[in-house]
Amino acid sequence: MKIISYNVNGIRAAEKKGLFEWVKEEQPDVLCLQEVKAMPEQIDLTPLESLGYSWEWHAAEKKGYSGVATFSKKQPDKTVAGMSIERYDMEGRILRTDYGDLTVLNCYFPSGTTGDVRQAVKYDFLDDFFDWIKKLRKTRKKLIVVGDYNIAHEEIDIHNPKSKNSGFLPEERAWMTKWFEAGFIDSFRYICPEEVVYSWWSYRANARVNNKGWRIDYQSVTDNLKSHLEKAYHLTNAKHSDHCPVCLEIKV
* pLDDT tens for each residue of 100-152: 999 999 999 999 999 999 999 999 999 999 999 999 999 999 999 999 999 99
Query: Is residue 191 very low, low, confident or very high in pLDDT (cuts 50, 70, 90)?
Result: very high
Q: Report the pLDDT value the prediction gives residue 219, as an integer from 0 to 100.
A: 98
Once rounded to an integer, what is the mean pLDDT over residues 239-247? 98
Pairing of strands 30-34, 2-7: parallel
Percent of the chain with pLDDT over 70: 100
3-state SS, one letter per residue, for the chain: CEEEEEECCCHHHHHHCCHHHHHHHHCCCEEEEECCCCCHHHCCCHHHHCCCCEEEEECCCCCCCCCEEEEECCCCCEEEECCCCHHHHCCCCEEEEEECCEEEEEEECCCCCCCHHHHHHHHHHHHHHHHHHHHHCCCCCEEEEEEECCCCCCHHHECCCCCCCCCCCHHHHHHHHHHHHCCEEEHHHHHCCCCCCCCEECCCCCCCCCCCEECCEEEEEEHHHHHHEEEEEECCCCCCCCECCEEEEECC
Instruction: Please give the mean pLDDT across all residues of the chain.
Output: 98
* pLDDT tens for each residue of 105-119: 999 999 999 999 999
Query: Is residue 175 very low, low, confident or very high in pLDDT (cuts 50, 70, 90)?
Result: very high
Q: Is the dihedral of CA 215, 221, 222, 228 positive or negative?
A: negative
Among candidate residues 29, 101, 148, 217, the one labeled active-site is 148
- The whole-model pTM stands at 0.98
Query: Rg (Cα) of the chain, in Å, rounded?
Result: 17
* pLDDT tens for each residue of 65-87: 999 999 999 999 999 999 999 99
Q: Please tell me the distance from the alpha carbon of residue 6 to that of residue 178, in angstroms, as a whole number.
A: 24
CATH of 2-250, one of 3.40.309.10, 1.20.1250.20, 3.60.10.10, 3.50.30.40: 3.60.10.10
Q: Are 105 and 146 in contact (CB under 8 A)?
A: yes
**What is the number of other CB atoms lying within 10 angstroms of the CB of residue 167?**
20
Query: Is residue 45 very low, low, confident or very high in pLDDT (cuts 50, 70, 90)?
Result: very high
Find the distance separating the first CA and the last CA of the chain, reported in whole Å. 7
**Is 148 a known active-site residue?**
yes
Q: Please tell me the distance from the alpha carbon of residue 252 to that of residue 250, in angstroms, as a whole number.
A: 6
* pLDDT tens for each residue of 7-43: 999 999 999 999 999 999 999 999 999 999 999 999 9
Q: Report the pLDDT value the prediction gives residue 177, as an integer from 0 to 100.
A: 98
Q: Please tell me the distance from the alpha carbon of residue 147 to that of residue 242, in angstroms, as a whole number.
A: 14
